[in-house]
Structure 1
Amino acid sequence: MTKLFIGGLSENIQEMDLAIFVSLHGQIETIKVVRDRSTGKCKGYAFLEVNKLADANNIISNLNGETFKGNVVTVKICEEQPVAPKKFQPKGNPAIKSKRPRLQR
């Protein structure tokens, strides 16, 4: 699965419009238009997933720099950052002593 980044989208873009625009050049598995939580408007970019690398390259070569709904779009392969595993830290550190002793009841 290859993930693509599409930037330069208008704020009123709909997923179906983007799907029609892109699907002419390759088969799309998923579309995620990134939206502002409070307004619901597009933040100007989206992510697509395609199964084949050949489809991804075809989409990039045909759509990068093209105009879509009045905006020039940027299409590129999304470079995902590896997720670092969280380090386990037990609750309370016995090496650190509290500043005041607790009262015994």
Structure 2
Amino acid sequence: MVKIFIGGLPDNIQEMDLAIWVSLHGRVETIKVVRDRATGKCKGYAFLEIYSLPDAKNIVSTLNGETFKGNVITVKISEDESGAKTPKPKTNSNPHPNPNFKSKRPRLQR
């Protein structure tokens, strides 16, 4: 599945309205409209998981820059296309090439 971002949504958007509008151009698997916890209003963007990359590309090319409920919408494929989280590379706190090396200088206590 491919994750896409949709921005510029009105604050009163309903998931079903967005699903119907987007599904005309590709198969939608999941929708997550980002909302303010206190008010329940949409923060202006949502993430959708699309069944396939061709569907996602069709949605982006067709809907990006279009008007939806009075707002111009931005649609793009998320940076993380697969939806899987990529692990961060481990950083070595010891910059010395020898992993067993210990500095003889005492560290300052804070």
Interval of TM-score (by shorter of Structure 1 and Structure 2): 0.7 to 0.9
RMSD, aligned CA = 1.9
Partner of 1:93: none
Partner of 1:44: 44
User: Could you tell me how far 1:82 is from its partner in structure 2?
Assistant: 3.3
Partner of 1:14: 14
Counterpart of 1:23, as a letter, is S
* Counterparts of 2:90 and 2:17, CA distance in 1: 39
* Partner deviation per Cα, 1:20-62 (whole Å, 9 max, x = no partner): 1100000000000000011000000000001210000000011
Matched residue SS, 2:20: helix
Q: TM-score, normalised by structure 1?
A: 0.78
Equivalent of 1:82 in 81, 86, 89: 86
Aligned length: 89
The 4+ residue runs of structure 1 with deviation greater than 6 A are: none
Structure 1: gaps spanning 5 or more residues:
88-95, 99-105
* Counterparts of 1:77 and 1:70, CA distance in 2: 22
Calculate percent identity across the aligned residue pairs: 72
Matched residue SS, 1:84: coil
Counterpart of 2:50, as a letter, is V
Change (3 A) 1:83 1:13: farther
User: Could you tell me how far 1:16 is from its partner in structure 2?
Assistant: 0.2
1:45-64 mapped onto 2 (5 Å cutoff): 45-64=45-64
* Counterparts of 2:59 and 2:7, CA distance in 1: 13
Counterpart of 1:30, as a letter, is T
